[in-house]
Amino acid sequence: MHVYSPRFAVAADAHLKPPAASLSDYRSLQRRLGTTRNIFVQPSTYGFDNACVLDAIASTGETARGIAVVSGAVSEDRLDELNAGGIVGLRFNLVRSGTDALRDAVSLAPALAERGWHLEIHVSGAQLPELAATLARLPCDVVMDHFGRVRFNEGVSQPAFRALLALLDNGRTWVKLSGAYLDTEATRDSIVEIGRALVEHRADRLVWGSDWPHPAAASLPDDAGQFDYLQEWARDESTRERILVDNAAALYRF
């Protein structure tokens, strides 16, 4: 999830400039859903300034971790500072920045592996088959954001989904079950089909995220409705607990 606060400066080149969304606002949603941990993901709104995420982690304590965004020129000292502040991974947006973001991700992967961090990668489904071999060679764990942005209506036989399953089998790839609503053409049945196929393939490599407050959504989804998809993707309680608790604890170092 994300937090937004007027206390922190918006990046000059920011595309998304959502209204304030505070940790206390999210606590209300957590009471509704029954979740207790927080993974604060650096919003593109703040560029490479991770102060808002670090502040949210510090305000929350041991139940919080963070995912930062940095430039390819980030220093080892700065990575160590982020590590001390509760950061456990870096996010790279290949949809927006393409080859530049991929170059930075590849170059920083060894430093992340040394710290036990992971790379969170946002790609389009169309990019995935071409990028899969490069991502599979990285020495650190890789988290595919938002279902790898596969097109839900194209089903489980599409090249992007087959590439995603192959990546899951390398033992260093995870898929984040979040933001299904970003595919505005997806039907409920197609979302259930893709999510269930992922669970049946590698439930041990999946984590869930709310993507609150949904800064890129065309229209705001109902958070409880999004959470309820888990009942259809993972039909037994032990599998849901693995995704929500055990997998998250392993990936985010709780």
**Catalytic position from the list 55, 141, 145, 211:** 211
Residue 91: in which H helix or E strand, if any?
A: strand 87-93
Q: Could you list the mean pLDDT of each consecutive 10-residue stretch along the chain, which spans 254 residues?
A: 96 90 94 95 95 97 97 95 98 84 95 97 95 96 98 98 97 97 96 98 98 92 95 97 97 96
- pLDDT of 96: 78
- CA-CA distance, 188 to 209, in Å (whole number)? 18
CATH of 89-251, picked from 3.30.420.40, 3.20.20.140, 3.20.20.70, 3.40.50.1220, is: 3.20.20.140
- pLDDT of 142: 98
- pLDDT of 179: 96
- pLDDT of 232: 97
- pLDDT of 48: 95
Per-residue tokens: 16: 């998304």
- pLDDT of 40: 98
**pTM to 2 decimal places:** 0.95
- pLDDT of 82: 98
- pLDDT of 243: 98
- CA-CA distance, 121 to 105, in Å (whole number)? 9
Active site residue 145: no
Domains of the chain, by residue range, sit at 89-251
- CA-CA distance, 158 to 156, in Å (whole number)? 6
Backbone angles phi and psi of 37, in degrees to 5:
-105, 160
Measured CA distances, 37 to 50, 63, 69, 209 (Å): 19, 5, 21, 11
